[in-house]
Amino acid sequence: MKRHFLLVFSLPALAIFLMCQSCAKENLPPVAQFTIDPATGNDQTIFVMDATATTDPNDDPATILIMWDWEGDGIFDSQYSSKRKGDHKYAKAGEYMVTLVAKDPRGLTDTLRVPLTVASSNLPPEAPFSPQPENGQLIKTINPWMKWSSSDPEGDPMFFTCYFGKTNPPPQFIASQMVGTFSPGKLDYGTTYYWKVKIRDTKGNITEGPVWSFSTYDLHIGSITDARDGQTYHTIQMGDAWWMSENLRFDAGDGSFCYENTDAKCQSYGKLYTWEAAMRSCPAGWHLPTLKEFETMINVVGGQDVAGGKLKDYEQSLWREVNVGATNEFGFNALPAGRRYDSGLFAGAGYYAQFFSSTEYNSGEAYNLTIGYDYANAFIYNYKKAYAISVRCVKN
308-326 pLDDT tens trace: 999 999 877 899 988 999 9
Higher pLDDT, 30 or 331: 30
**Which pLDDT value is given to residue 120?**
84
> 295 and 387 share a domain?
yes
End-to-end CA gap in the chain: 144
Q: Tell me which residue of 207, 333, 364 sits closest to 270, measured CA to CA.
A: 333
Domain stops at, among 165, 185, 216: 216
- Find all residues with CB under 8 Å of 52, minimum gap 6, and list them: 84, 85
Q: Are 265 and 387 found together in one domain?
A: yes
- What is the tally of structural domains in the chain? 3
**30 found inside a domain:** no
Report pTM.
0.58
Q: How many residues does the chain have?
A: 396
- DSSP assignment of 67-101, as one string? EEESS-SS--SS--BS--EEEEE-SS-EEEEEEEE
* SS3 assignment, position 309: helix
Tell me which residue of 288, 300, 265, 322 sits closest to 393, measured CA to CA: 288
Give the residue from 119, 153, 178 where a domain finishes. 119
Are 339 and 389 a contacting pair, CB within 8 Å?
Answer: yes
Residue 383 lies in a domain: yes
Find, among 65, 72, 64, 61, the residue nearest to 36 by Cα.
72
pLDDT digits (tens, 9 = 90+) for 191-235: 999 999 999 999 889 999 999 999 998 888 899 999 999 999 999
State yes or no: cis peptide before 131, omega within 30 of 0. no
Report which of 352, 360, 359 is spatially closest to residue 379, judged by C-alpha positions.
Answer: 352
CB neighbours (10 Å) of residue 156? 17
pLDDT of amino acid 7 = 39
Structure confidence by residue, pLDDT tens digits, 113-126: 999 999 888 899 99
Given a cut of 50, whether residue 15 has pLDDT beyond it is no
From the list 169, 201, 164, the residue with the least C-alpha distance to 184 is 164
Domain assignment of residue 144, given as a range: 129-216
pLDDT at 25: 59
Q: What is the dihedral of CA 260, 262, 268, 271, to 10 degrees?
A: 70
Q: Does 268 lie in the same domain as 231?
A: yes
Contact residues for 381 (Cβ-Cβ < 8 A; gap 6+): 367, 368, 370
Q: 80: domain CATH number?
A: 2.60.40.10
Asked if 214 contacts 135 with a C-beta cutoff of 8 angstroms, the reply is yes
Q: Answer whether residue 22 is part of any domain.
A: no
Q: Specify whether 138 is located in the same domain as 209.
A: yes
pLDDT digits (tens, 9 = 90+) for 265-279: 999 999 999 999 999
Same domain, residue pair 264 and 373: yes
- Answer yes or no: is 1 within a domain: no
Let me know if residue 307 belongs to a domain.
yes
In-domain check, residue 169: yes
Vertex 106 angle, CA 101 and 110, to 5°: 25
Phi, psi angle pair for 173, to nearest 5°: -115, -40
- In this structure, are 244 and 390 located in the same domain? yes
Query: How far from 72 is each of 24, 100, 109, 165, CA to CA, in Å?
Result: 36, 9, 17, 42
Residue 365 has pLDDT above 50, yes or no: yes
Residue 16 in any domain: the answer is no
Are residues 271 and 391 located together in one domain of the fold?
A: yes
**Do 85 and 48 touch, CB atoms closer than 8 A?**
yes
- The reply to whether 337 and 373 lie within a common domain is yes
In the predicted model, is pLDDT for residue 14 greater than 60?
no
Q: Are residues 291 and 241 in the same domain?
A: yes
pLDDT at residue 219, as a whole number: 82
Could you report the per-residue pLDDT of 26-70, keeping only the tens digit for each? 889 999 999 999 999 999 999 999 999 999 999 998 999 999 999
- Residues 205, 66 share a domain: no
Calpha distance 190→183 (Å, rounded): 18
Q: What are phi and psi of 183, to 5 degrees?
A: -110, 125
Give, in order, the Cα–Cα distances in Å from 376 to each of 220, 334, 373: 24, 12, 8
The span from the CA of 237 to the CA of 245, in Å, is: 9
d(CA 222, CA 242): 9
Q: Are residues 358 and 265 in the same domain?
A: yes
In a 3-state reduction of DSSP, which class is residue 293?
helix
Nearest-angstrom CA–CA distance, 214 and 233:
29
CA dihedral 275, 277, 281, 286 (to 10 degrees): 30
Q: Are 91 and 62 in contact (CB under 8 A)?
A: no
Predicted local distance difference test score (pLDDT) of residue 240 = 93
Query: Domain ends where: 194, 216, 238?
Result: 216
Domain match, 372 and 257 both: yes
Per-residue pLDDT, 186: 87
Domain annotation covers residue 140: yes
